[in-house]
């Protein structure tokens, strides 16, 4: 029985509720009156204090996703764009993955790190190697990392992950610093989540892969990840352990996308209902080719148009949740979805263990890669492209360092302080990047962009302070200002 407040996976992600939702969506996909009501409910509303959005339930959002009337689809895209601009503006936060170890005891059939894959060498970085990787990432300009690790209690125990986080935060190389470490490791215990919180992680990210229990069990035939309930209930344990920024995701291609879409929104609704805070981010990976993995064997691959529509509908349904797209996607695909709701992207990524240190920007080790990278540009190329495309690349990590985690980003939106806070923070961190790492063309474009965009900070006092900080970064060698 569906129960949003239940702590049991099969009750808050109730299969029958999803099937009924899909049926309801099919029956109503041409119900103009209902669709108008849904679009109206989701539209941003100006209040005395700022702009607010109501979001949508999984049922309402599923109706939008099912609708294929071209005029309505255009309106879905326009609304997603409007919401994106209201809360995220033209800022795009940058990050990179750091693979620590590909030892894994699971048998996920889509992942090259599965236990039975003898084609790949197994590698686990030492703390010295992690230091080298972090220096290489800092030299690119990164400030925010997502650490990735296979599940292996012997080779990758929680102590190893905690040591690695400490190492990453401790590296201070030239003007570089990693200021936020997000963690993408297997589902774990409340006690371990508490330890991760104490280690000052940013977001705990765990992809559900699929919400369809029966498929989940087939796709994870053995190993600890086989346990659907333990995996699905991980975010509740993370929150019990004090982590209030959690990142959801499904691996599109494994199951029917409409099922996953309803499932991920039900998961978000459950977290909000039980913990008072929804997910900080939603990621939208698609299955890619990798060693021993042929994405063609999965029947549920989605094309770029469907992918864009999913992103737009997620944006509308959960307006305060950030959305992440990785280098699994090509430049053209990323460009298409940036305007529809994506707020964070990775750049210059290596998906292999030890893929950064010792390699030139164009050299790419493939032996331990988790999946093929489609967008193979350097971070500087991505930064330059974002600016040419009309976006502000942001290396901001301020929110979590200022304690604005959990539902406090939503409060920032609701009181209309985004432009006085996120905007100058984005510009100041971009200024640091331009001073320390940018190529000449990027630097020239960036300086002009900052000079123009600083005028969009509405509060005069804040604008003046931000301009002074920018000058101190440029001329005084100062770093790490934030609002």
Interacting residues with ligand SAM (CB under 6 A): 110-111, 148, 150-151, 184-186, 206-207, 209, 225, 251, 285, 287-288, 290, 293, 328, 370-371
What is the smallest separation between the CB atom of 308 and ligand SAM, expressed in angstroms?
Answer: 18
Comparison of 210 and 431: residue with beta carbon closer to ligand SAM: 210
Comparison of 106 and 397: residue with beta carbon closer to ligand SAM: 106
Comparison of 60 and 151: residue with beta carbon closer to ligand SAM: 151
Q: How many residues does the chain have?
A: 483
Comparison of 29 and 328: residue with beta carbon closer to ligand SAM: 328
What is the smallest separation between the CB atom of 106 and ligand SAM, expressed in angstroms?
Answer: 6
DSSP secondary structure letters along 239-305: HHTT---EEEEB-BTSS-HHHHHHHHHHHHHHHHHHHS---SEEE--B---BTTB-GGGSTT---HH
Comparison of 183 and 340: residue with beta carbon closer to ligand SAM: 183
Alpha-carbon distance 103 to 320, whole Å?
35
Contact assessment for residue 432 and residue 142, using Cβ atoms and an 8 Å cutoff: no
Work out the angle at residue 70's Cα, subtended by the Cα atoms of residues 23 and 253, and round it to the nearest 5 degrees.
55
What is the smallest separation between the CB atom of 207 and ligand SAM, expressed in angstroms?
Answer: 4
Comparison of 364 and 482: residue with beta carbon closer to ligand SAM: 364
Angle at which helix 127-140 crosses helix 158-170, to 10 degrees, equals 40
What is the smallest separation between the CB atom of 391 and ligand SAM, expressed in angstroms?
Answer: 25
Comparison of 231 and 258: residue with beta carbon closer to ligand SAM: 231
Comparison of 209 and 432: residue with beta carbon closer to ligand SAM: 209
Contact assessment for residue 246 and residue 205, using Cβ atoms and an 8 Å cutoff: yes
Residue 233 DSSP symbol: T
Q: Facing residues of 394 across strands? A: 93
What is the smallest separation between the CB atom of 328 and ligand SAM, expressed in angstroms?
Answer: 6
For residue 240, which phi and psi values (nearest 5 degrees)? -65, -30
Comparison of 24 and 160: residue with beta carbon closer to ligand SAM: 160
What is the smallest separation between the CB atom of 138 and ligand SAM, expressed in angstroms?
Answer: 22
Comparison of 324 and 418: residue with beta carbon closer to ligand SAM: 324
Angle at which helix 460-476 crosses helix 418-436, to 10 degrees, equals 10
For residue 344, which phi and psi values (nearest 5 degrees)? -135, 140
Unique residue bearing structure tokens 């129960």: 3
Distances (CA, A) of 460 to 86, 193, 420, 465, 471: 20, 42, 9, 9, 17
Alpha-carbon distance 315 to 337, whole Å?
11
Residue 209 DSSP symbol: B
Alpha-carbon distance 327 to 375, whole Å?
5
What is the smallest separation between the CB atom of 185 and ligand SAM, expressed in angstroms?
Answer: 6
What is the smallest separation between the CB atom of 478 and ligand SAM, expressed in angstroms?
Answer: 37
What is the smallest separation between the CB atom of 45 and ligand SAM, expressed in angstroms?
Answer: 35
100 is written with which tokens? Answer: 């620590």
What is the smallest separation between the CB atom of 326 and ligand SAM, expressed in angstroms?
Answer: 8
Work out the angle at residue 36's Cα, subtended by the Cα atoms of residues 309 and 60, and round it to the nearest 5 degrees.
55
Contact assessment for residue 249 and residue 207, using Cβ atoms and an 8 Å cutoff: yes
Contact assessment for residue 98 and residue 346, using Cβ atoms and an 8 Å cutoff: no
Work out the angle at residue 13's Cα, subtended by the Cα atoms of residues 10 and 17, and round it to the nearest 5 degrees.
105
Comparison of 204 and 385: residue with beta carbon closer to ligand SAM: 204
Contact assessment for residue 380 and residue 388, using Cβ atoms and an 8 Å cutoff: no
What is the smallest separation between the CB atom of 400 and ligand SAM, expressed in angstroms?
Answer: 21
């Amino acid at each position: 029985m569906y129960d949003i407040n239940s702590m049991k996976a099969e009750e808050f992600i109730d299969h029958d509720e999803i099937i009924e939702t899909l049926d309801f969506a099919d029956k109503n996909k041409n119900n103009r009156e209902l669709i108008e009501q849904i679009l109206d409910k989701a539209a941003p509303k100006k209040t005395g204090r700022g702009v607010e959005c109501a979001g949508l339930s999984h049922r309402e959002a599923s109706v939008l996703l099912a609708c294929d009337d071209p005029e309505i689809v255009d309106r879905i895209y326009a609304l997603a764009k409007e919401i994106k601009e209201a809360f995220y503006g033209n800022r795009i936060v940058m990050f990179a993955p750091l693979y620590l170890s590909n030892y894994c005891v699971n048998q996920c059939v889509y992942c090259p790190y599965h236990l039975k894959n003898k084609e790949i060498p197994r590698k686990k970085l030492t703390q010295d190697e992690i230091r080298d990787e972090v220096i290489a990432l800092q030299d690119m300009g990164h400030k925010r990392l997502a650490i990735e690790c296979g599940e292996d209690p012997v080779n990758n125990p929680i102590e190893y992950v905690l040591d690695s986080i400490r190492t990453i935060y401790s590296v201070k190389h030239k003007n570089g610093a990693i200021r936020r470490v997000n963690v993408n490791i297997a589902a774990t215990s409340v006690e371990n989540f508490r330890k991760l919180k104490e280690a000052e992680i940013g977001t705990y990210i765990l992809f559900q892969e699929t919400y369809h229990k029966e498929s989940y069990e087939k796709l994870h035939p053995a190993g600890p990840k086989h346990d659907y309930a333990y995996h699905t209930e991980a975010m509740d344990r993370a929150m019990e352990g004090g982590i209030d920024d959690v990142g959801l995701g499904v691996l599109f291609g494994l199951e029917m996308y409409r099922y996953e879409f309803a499932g991920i929104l039900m998961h978000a609704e459950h977290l909000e209902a039980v913990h008072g805070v929804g997910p900080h981010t939603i990621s939208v990976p698609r299955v890619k080719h990798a060693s021993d993995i042929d994405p063609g064997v999965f029947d549920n691959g989605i094309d770029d148009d469907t992918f864009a529509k999913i992103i737009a509908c997620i944006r509308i349904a959960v307006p305060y949740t950030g959305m992440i797209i990785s280098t699994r996607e090509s430049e053209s695909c990323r460009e298409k979805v940036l305007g529809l709701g994506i707020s964070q992207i990775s750049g210059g990524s290596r998906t292999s263990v030890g893929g950064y240190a010792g390699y030139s920007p164009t050299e790419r080790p493939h032996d331990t890669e988790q999946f093929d990278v489609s967008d193979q540009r350097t971070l500087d190329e991505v930064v330059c492209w974002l600016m040419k495309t009309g976006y502000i690349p942001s290396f901001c990590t301020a929110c979590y360092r200022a304690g604005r985690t959990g539902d406090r980003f939503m409060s920032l939106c609701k009181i209309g302080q985004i432009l006085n806070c996120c905007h100058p923070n984005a510009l100041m961190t971009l200024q640091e990047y331009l001073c320390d790492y940018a190529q000449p063309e990027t630097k020239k474009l960036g300086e002009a962009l900052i000079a123009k965009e600083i005028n969009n900070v509405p509060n005069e006092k804040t604008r003046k302070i931000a301009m002074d900080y920018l000058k101190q970064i440029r001329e005084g060698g100062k770093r790490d200002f934030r609002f």
